Structure 1
Amino acid sequence: MAITSDEVNFLVYRYLQESGFTHAAFVFGYESFVHKSSVNANDVPPGALITFIQKGLQYLELEANLNEENTGVNGEFAALSAHDMITKDLDELKRAVQERKERAEQVKAEQDQQRGPAPAASREAAPQEIPASQVVTLEGHQSEVFICAWSPTAPLLASGSGDSTARIWDLHGLPDGPVRPTVLKHFKQAENKAKDVTTLDWNGDGSLLATGSYDGLARIWSKEGELKNTLNNHKGPIFSLKWNKKGDLLLSGSVDKTAIVWDGKTGEVKQQFEFHTAPTLDVDWRNNTSFATCSTDKMIYVCKLGEAAPVKTFQGHQDEVNAIKWDPTGKLLASCSDDRTAKIWSLTSDKCVHDFTLHSKEIYTIKWSPSGPNTANPNQRLLLVSASFDASIRLWDVESGTCVNTLTNHTQPVYSVAFSPNGEYLASGSFDRDLHIWSVKDGTLLKTFHGQGGIFEVCWNKDGDKVAACFSNKTVCVIDLKM
């Protein structure tokens, strides 16, 4: 296999874009003539450069672990750091593998004691595979589908893609024939450049859908697909947007380092917040007028409409903060980071209330269970779930600050997790192409669907009997669970 310099340049260009280095991407693209490249942007998945490098390092890692006859691995596979593989030759790597295996044997007993019982999934029988008869595949997107969300009031599913469109799928009755979507175009007819739809959110009554795009515009659509407003104050790609519970205000966060609160009816800017020093990655409402933002600058700010300064600042993560979520009461804020930790914060404390450190790689997303006070399931305990690039999912008891279950059947990074409305089940989607349904009560893996591409997002419908998942192979699948 050979890779050309033009292809390398394109991968570097996409990496700079995806990492929020907008100006660096522009300069690099201009000097390397990326615009003349024959590479089709829609064929290149997100994170392609990192994946390409990781694959090469994995092959080197495997070679270092081979026995002298190169016929297999001596004992348990020993992982190597990227720094080792970049700086050491093959003989040094083989010695490092042997040393690590010897050290691992010495501390194995202590590690087993610390881990406690084996993860729940590994103790259970094989899960039930979801048959094709329970799956409807929605086709029509021309590029990977990054995000999907059910309407809170009707069987309408919205999806956003790298093909510069969002789509609204009417799933009344889930017919056997093709489902015809309403296509929401995020480009003018004369334009050719792809502008990924990166985020979307329904308002509380399901009458409006907001979308955010790589072109820096937020758009508000009716449920019938009519464009109501185009919001154009951001100067860079929008990575997150959320309606408040009342549905009169829309909050967005952008690579331009700012967050904006918009009037949901007129599209006018109510207030722009400029506290971060790097791209804003996520935003989340606490109530109808206050919210939190997080960024690659490692900071979290709690802000309030009408206030010129943050009402609270949370500092403690050692790397970029990927996601933030308020609990159902609005008293606790959860965050997760590339520093491999998830943290719980309270407005009554400057330091985190809990610091969850058991993941071994970056934590991509977190979700609160729909349980405890202020929920439809008040008699169930409140849990936080975290999903990581270490391929594991962990359920945390927030009151005690302990991990109550580790779910380990995925084999690649887990990008999305979602609780069912009744709080009894958890759906997870990974780049290993598997969608899993778990029991929240005991961590049992109940059902599995094997998809045809990596999964970016999973979400439940309002009745809790269907799960949607969006894939890197340009499709969206709707699974009727009949639980």
Structure 2
Amino acid sequence: MISITSTELNYLVFRYLHESGFTHSAFAFGYEAGIDRCKNDDNVVPPGALVTFIQKGIQYLELEANLSGSDADMDEDFSFLQPLDLITKEPNELHNIVKAKKENLSQHKSESNKIVNGSTHDNARREHVQEREKERKEKENEQRLEKIRLEKEKEQPKDEYKETQHTDQNHTEKHEDKTTVENLNNRAYGGPEPMEISQSPMSSPNDTPCRDVKILKGHSSEVFACAWNPSAPLLASGSGDSTARIWKIADGPCDSGVQNEPVNVVVLQHFKESTNEKSKDVTTLDWNGDGTLLATGSYDGQARIWSRDGELNSTLNKHKGPIFSLKWNKKGDYLLSGSVDKTAIVWNIKTGEWKQLFEFHTGPTLDVDWRNNVTFATCSTDKMIHVCKIGENRPVKTFSGHQDEVNAIKWDPTGSLLASCSDDHTAKIWSLKQDNFLHDLKEHVKGIYTIRWSPTGPGTNNPNQQLVLASASFDSTIKLWDVELGSVLYSLSGHRDPVYSVAFSPNGEYLASGSMDRFVHIWSVKEGKIVKTYTGKGGIFEVNWSKDGDKVAACFSNNIVCVLDFRM
């Protein structure tokens, strides 16, 4: 009796089908499943099975011909099938299985939020905002009714309280409406957006008064990013409404006569009005060093370069997925972008063309940051960090050590240390002089969303102040770290929900933070205490200081941007 091993059978069938034009690796799973089913008691495959497998191979050539046209599509089609299906079912049955599962997947995608290649941070933020807003409204209504009930119980007999409860509740609500902050009318977009000064126990005695707050209204969706121009009184904001905006903010305090005039704003459309496309969320933006150009990154995978007057200078189109981060180098001749398509690209601004494509990650690129004019770092959902250099075909350094997605990376002011933070609850500090991390910062109990270095220490404009790293986490805390010792200086616990953004003032003395709890806090770095606080009506995605350190911008999930005066 002739016998053949599974390995020999596999090889023969592969050779036959490959020479017949069948190339898809998905069928290998079917071979293994079928071979296992056909083995006899001696762990060998009877010769008749070879004929059966070759017949199956011819049938699958027919199935391949009836599926999608491209190789990539066919690989996807075969991924819908189970190994046992490949052995036991006829091609027409398999075709129907693929068709049904593709239709179901397409329907699921249309009903879901945008989720790209497994990277769900922005969707998680939106879902969290919606949940928190619902909870907040319910809780505020409960607290308001309870407050009214307790006050009335103290002031009048119980029988009178029952009769007057509804009337007094309406009166209280009208009184609260009068205490809301009504700000400036925007000439182009109509009425003011009220913002309340927090009266909750979380508030500091130093709440920002209403006259110190300017509300910028015009976006029609969440505002994800904001950045002050480094040389002019301009604030850029980017939103899920497929626009960025450049706001002209007059110098001086918000309650001055100049500030009571409507705000000039330029709208940067990221879609053609004729097509009415609305799926090009502006996810990130950055001004160049001299403030003459604004770069925006979008969900459509394109980076765009604008003048500060709002003129579109160029569109940079090579990425195949949403752009989540982009940065100018200090010289301003190159722009670096990182995308969900797993790549980073350096763009030559003079030519408007890409200079070099870096394809080292195996997952979406979440953040990029320049070390100097030619060297930069990238991080990814693949848990890796690569340090790359223009002109080099491989990373000049690779850091591994995180156990989960690396959300952000930042070089210190002198470019000697690199900080990273991850969903593994840790931040780490790296040096190009060694392969392993210098410090493993482990005090957070949930993932760390972002990090920032203070503009202090040797080689900065504030050389006599200590270099500090701030980390903001989903555990609702901010940690200030001594980077020489790798220990916590302060744990800042003023927020109740995830903290998405922190920013140091230009002099390094203060830290601004924004959270999903709707609070903007400004902390003293020296004392680790809140010195100012403000609350709005939506979660906060980003905070940013003006170049002079006298204003803080914050962008909110309820479509607005706020500018807060800061004077101590």
The verdict on a shared fold, with TM-score over 0.5 as the criterion, is: yes
Cα separation, 1, equivalents of 2:130 and 2:112: 21
Secondary structure of 1:340's counterpart equals coil
In structure 2, the residue matched to 1:237 is 322
Q: Which residues of 2 match residues 408-419 of structure 1 at below 5 A?
A: 408-419=493-504
Per the TM alignment, residue 172 of structure 1 is displaced from its structure 2 partner at its CA by 2.1
1:246 and 2:331 matched: yes
Measured against aligned partners, the alpha-carbon deviations of 1:204-262 in whole angstroms (never above 9, x if no partner) come to: 00000000000000000000000001000100000000000001100000000000000
In the alignment, the residues of structure 2 paired with residue 177 and residue 27 of structure 1 have an alpha-carbon distance, to the nearest angstrom, of 55
Residue 272 of structure 2 is matched in structure 1 by: 188
Q: Within 5 Å, which residues of 2 pair with 1:392-411?
A: 392-411=477-496
CA distance in 1, matches of 2:216, 2:291: 21
Match of 1:355 among 424, 431, 440: 440
Secondary structure at the residue paired with 1:129? coil
Deviation at 1:341, TM superposition (A): 0.1
Compared with structure 1, are the counterparts of its residues 126 and 475 closer, same or farther at alpha carbon in structure 2 (3 Å cutoff)?
A: closer
Q: Does 1:346 align with 2:425?
A: no
Instruction: Give, as a single letter, the amino acid of the residue that structure 1 aligns with 2:464.
Output: N
Superposed counterparts of 1:270-309, under 5 Å? 270-309=355-394
How far apart are the structure 2 equivalents of 1:357 and 1:373?
Answer: 26
Give yes or no for contact 2:379–2:407 (8 Å, CA) kept in 1: yes
Q: Provide the residue aligned with 1:62 in structure 2.
A: none
Structure showing greater Rg: 2
% same residue:
67
> How many angstroms apart in 2 are the aligned matches of 1:27 and 1:181?
45
- What's the Cα RMSD here? 2.5
d(CA) in 1 for partners of 2:238, 2:130: 27
Q: Relative to structure 2, which stretch is displaced further, 265-274 or 416-425?
A: 265-274
Distance change in 2, residues 1:311/1:49 (3 Å) = same
The AA in structure 2 aligned to 1:315 is S
The answer on 1:310 being equivalent to 2:388 is no
Does residue 1:133 correspond to 2:211, yes or no? yes
Counterpart residue type for residue 362 of structure 1: G
Residues 449-479 of structure 1 deviation map (CA, whole Å, 9 limit, x = unaligned): 0111100000000000100000000000000
1:38–1:218 CA distance, 2 compared to 1 (3 A): closer
C-alpha distance in 2, partners of 1:452/1:424? 28
Structure 2: tracts of 5 or more residues without a match: 1-78, 81-100, 116-121, 136-201
Give 1:482 deviation, angstroms. 1.8
Q: How far off its partner does 1:48 sit?
A: 6.5
2:260 match: secondary structure? coil
Partner of 2:31: none
| Match status 1:373 vs 2:452 | no
- State the SS of the aligned residue for 1:128: coil
Matched, 1:161 2:236: no
Larger RCO (alpha carbons 8 Å, 6+ apart): 1
1:72-115 deviation digits (Å, cap 9, x = unpaired): xxxxxxxxxxxxxxxxxxxxxxxxxxxxxxxxxxxxxxxxxxxx
Q: Which amino acid aligns with 2:107?
A: S
Structure 1 residue 47: Cα displacement: 1.9
Residue 459 of structure 2 is aligned to residue 382 of structure 1: no
Task: Tell me, yes or no, if structure 1 residue 31 matches structure 2 residue 106.
Answer: yes
Closer/same/farther in 2, CA of residues 219 and 421 from structure 1, 3 Å limit: same
Deviations 1:305-355 (A, max 9, x none): 000000000000000000000001111000000000000000011100000
CA shift digits 1:382-428 (9 cap, x unpaired): 00000000000000000111101010010000000000000000000
Extract unaligned runs of 5+ from structure 1: 1-22, 59-123
Distance 1:235 1:176, change over 3 A: same
The question of 1:177 aligning with 2:276 is answered: no
The alpha carbon displacement at 1:49 in A equals 8.0
Q: What secondary structure sits across from 1:32 in the alignment?
A: helix
CA distance in 1, matches of 2:268, 2:395: 35
Instruction: Indicate which of 434, 437, 442 corresponds to 2:527.
Output: 442
The match for 2:542 among 444, 449, 457 is: 457
CA distance in 1, matches of 2:481, 2:455: 14
The amino acid that maps onto 2:452 is: K
Structure with more strand by fraction: 1
CA distance in 2, matches of 1:27, 1:254: 26
Structure 1 CA distance, aligned partners of 2:547 and 2:346?
A: 27
Q: Is residue 138–residue 178 contact of structure 1 (8 Å, CA) maintained in 2?
A: no
Structure 1 residues 345-385: Cα deviation after superposition (integer angstroms, max 9, x where no partner): 00011100000001000100000000012210001010000
Listed one character per residue, the Cα deviations across residues 39-69 of structure 1 (whole Å, up to 9, x for unaligned) are 999xxx84268649988xx9xxxxxxxxxxx
Specify whether residues 437 and 177 from structure 1 end up closer, same or farther in structure 2 by C-alpha distance, changes over 3 A only. same
Q: Which amino acid aligns with 2:472?
A: A
The whole-number CA distance in structure 1 between the counterparts of 2:126 and 2:238 is: 22
| 1:156 aligned partner, one-letter code | L
Preserved contact between residue 129 and residue 538 of structure 2 (Cα < 8 Å): no
Shift of 1:144: 0.4
| TM-score (normalised: structure 1) | 0.77
Distance 2:564 2:242 in 1: 25
Q: Which residue of 2 aligns with 1:197?
A: 282
For the residues of structure 1 that align with 2:250 and 2:129, how far apart are their CA atoms?
A: 41
Cα distance, 1:149–1:177 mapped onto 2, change above 3 Å:
same
Give secondary structure in 2 for the equivalent of 1:416. Answer: strand
**Aligned AA (2:269):** K
Q: Which amino acid aligns with 1:331?
A: S
Residue 109 (structure 1) aligns with: none
Deviation at 1:192, TM superposition (A): 3.0
Structure 2: how far apart are the matches of 1:48 and 1:413?
A: 9
Residue 181 of structure 1 deviates from its aligned partner by 1.0
Q: Structure 2-normalised TM-score? A: 0.66
Is 1:143 matched with 2:221? yes
Q: Give the aligned residue type for 1:381.
A: Q
**Corresponding residue to 1:47 among 124, 127, 130:** 124
Are the equivalent residues in 1 in contact too, given 2:456–2:462 (CA < 8 A)? yes
Does the 8 Å CA contact 2:129/2:516 hold for their aligned counterparts?
no
* Counterpart position of 2:86: none
Contact 1:127 1:445 in 2 (8 A): no
Mapped to 2, the partners of 1:438 and 1:225 lie a distance apart of: 34
CA positional deviation for 1:176? 1.4
Distance in 1, matches of 2:112 and 2:366, equals: 31
Tell me the amino acid that sits aligned with residue 184 of structure 1. Answer: L
